[in-house]
Amino acid sequence: MKRNDLAVYFIMGTPNCIQEPLHVLEDALKAGITIFQLREKGEGALTGKPLEQFARQCQELCKSYNVPFIVNDDVELALKLQADGIHIGQDDVSLTQIREKFIGRIVGVSVHTVEELEHALRGRADYVGIGPIYETQSKSDAKSPAGLTFLQEARSLHRDFPFVAIGGITTKNAQEPLKAGADGVAVISEICQSQNRHETVRACKVHK
């Protein structure tokens, strides 16, 4: 994948939205997000057929704006929908198994240490998510914030590999991880709850 595909990485599920979720997604697509991940987790999350139906609607919207559609963790759903890719954490199915099932598609991995980063590269991940950079309210099981130190170290080790920063990123601090070496920032709440998504997305992009 291209590093600039990660510029503004929007992650969303129905529990994250205070407005109608499909409206939120289309508004974010119009505002210029560059990649979308469906992460349907938390209290009240959809399952079964309702999840599949919602996922297909999200996928169609992404297709109409030519934005990659990624599924979080759910291998079965991602394969059924022929999603553009999947994103997994350290506790999910092994990267080797995932890579075999997603030939020619995007595979992203969350990493928190240099060891996990190197494992992801050996397993032929297409990009990694580094974080949490700051405190986050979007994941009840989030690890302690890593700050910018690991991100800077990762970039010094791998100059050209695609990295996206995640965790507690807002319009006020988005430029910090970008300056530290991230190709983009992953955002949940800041876009979901925004009153002006065009301005929010603009503020999350690299300012030169």
- Could you list the active site residues? 39, 110, 139
131, 166 contact by CB (below 8 A)? yes
Per the document, the length of the chain is 208
Q: What sign does the dihedral 20-25-28-30 (CA atoms) show? A: negative
Q: How far apart are CA 58 and CA 111, in angstroms?
A: 26
Kindly report whether the peptide bond that precedes residue 132 is cis, defined as omega within 30 degrees of 0: yes
Q: How far apart are CA 59 and CA 160, in angstroms?
A: 29
Residue 40, SS3? coil
| Closest by Cα among 3, 60, 57 to 34 | 3
